[in-house]
Amino acid sequence: MADPATQLYLISPLEVGDDFPQRLERALAAGKGLVTAFQFRVKGLEQHEAARLAEPLQAICAAHDVGFIVNDSVPLAKRLRADGVHLGQDDGSVKDAREELGMDAQIGVTCHASRHFAMEAGEAGADYVAFGAFFESTTKDKGDAERPTSEIIEWWTGLFELPAVAIGGITPDNCKPLVEAGADFLAVSGSVWNGDEVAAIEAFAKQMR
């Protein structure tokens, strides 16, 4: 069966110790052909500890041919020789990240609900743009940020070839409009890790094929 046009981009919970490597292994096995990237997102840890936690997860991703992306930290991405880095609007420039990580690194940029931010990121050489949060999210506090609609995905994919990631509170029950709008990836976290990860992946698969 051909891979779906929209694929999953898993984002880690903040706690990635204990049995999380086993959970990630199960999720990637269940999502073969559907999950193509995993973002390592931990907060408040010094780099050595973050690297220690990342290493087994990075190995699992490599075994499943899933890209391993580090959230926010170019230095950690460089240390791990990760596949790429995801930058928020305050996490530095695409240009500087490219100089540090090389031409093969996948560099993504958070663009919230801003067409301007997305076009700037594309012009700077980003490999993907991320719009969101589309729905209420328990993973990351978006404050009073403007909430985009699926129309921004439709606009972007109609004009640009650069992949678009939809993020924020996405579940199997609400993802269909984003899939139909042409999102290349759905970035998901709580909807997978807050319950049975295999059942969640299978539920997304039903909506995306």
At residue 22, does pLDDT exceed 70? yes
- CA dist 6 and 191 (Å) reads 17
At residue 139, does pLDDT exceed 80? no
At residue 141, does pLDDT exceed 70? no
Run of H or E including 117? helix 115-124
At residue 171, does pLDDT exceed 60? yes
Flag whether 33 is in a domain.
Answer: yes
Residue 127: how many other CB atoms lie within 10 Å: 17
User: Could you tell me the pLDDT band of residue 181, with boundaries at 50, 70 and 90?
Assistant: very high
- Residue 81 Ramachandran class (φ > 0 left, ψ -120 to 50 alpha, else beta): left
Cis peptide leading into 2, omega within 30 of 0?
no
| 164 close to 184: Cβ distance less than 8 angstroms | yes
At residue 135, does pLDDT exceed 50? yes
Mean pLDDT for the chain overall: 95
At residue 47, does pLDDT exceed 90? yes
User: Could you tell me the pLDDT band of residue 1, with boundaries at 50, 70 and 90?
Assistant: very low
pLDDT digits (tens, 9 = 90+) for 150-161: 999 999 999 999
- CA dist 80 and 83 (Å) reads 9
Flag whether 182 is in a domain.
Answer: yes
Q: What mean pLDDT do residues 81-108 have?
A: 97
Q: What mean pLDDT do residues 89-116 have?
A: 97
DSSP string, 15-61: ---TTHHHHHHHHHHHTTTTEEEEEE---S--HHHHHHHHHHHHHHH
Flag whether 2 is in a domain.
Answer: no
Q: What mean pLDDT do residues 164-179 have?
A: 97
The position carrying tokens 């230095």 is: 75
| 9 close to 39: Cβ distance less than 8 angstroms | yes
Looking at residue 209, its pLDDT comes to 74
Range of the domain at 135: 7-208
Flag whether 22 is in a domain.
Answer: yes
Q: What are phi and psi for residue 13, nearest 5 degrees?
A: -70, 170
**Count: domains in the chain:** 1
Can you give the CATH number for the domain in which 19 is found?
3.20.20.70
Residues above pLDDT 70, as percent of the chain: 95
Flag whether 1 is in a domain.
Answer: no
User: Could you tell me the pLDDT band of residue 208, with boundaries at 50, 70 and 90?
Assistant: confident
